[in-house]
Amino acid sequence: MKMPRKDDRCVLSPLGEWYEDLLSADAAINARSMAMQGNSLLCAKLQERYPVIKERIQYLADKRGITFQECWKLCVTGRIEKITPDEWVDMPGKESEE
């Protein structure tokens, strides 16, 4: 199993002045750096959203006729592809409602 390199980091787009100021203030009152506080806030929000994320992954798995685990792996590795309307119509188990 390949372990991430020590310098592998997630890069986020700029926050904008308002959010950067909020993060700076929040970091200061919690005696943390902005990077540490940003990490903490993002992790907390992802934990909060975990049940919804799982529901959405299950929806995508069902739509594709694959298991949750297969879909999770595709999402995590960035290899999931959008299904076109034509592909959706032709998928097995998706009978027409006519």
Give 58-75 pLDDT, tens digit per residue.
999 999 999 999 999 999
Predicted pLDDT at 29: 98
Can you say how many angstroms the Cα of residue 87 is from the centroid of all Cα atoms in its chain?
24
Model-wide pTM > 0.75: no
Q: 75 near 57, Cβ under 8 Å?
A: yes
> CA of 80: how far to CAs of 21, 70, 74, 76, 94, in Å?
35, 10, 5, 9, 20
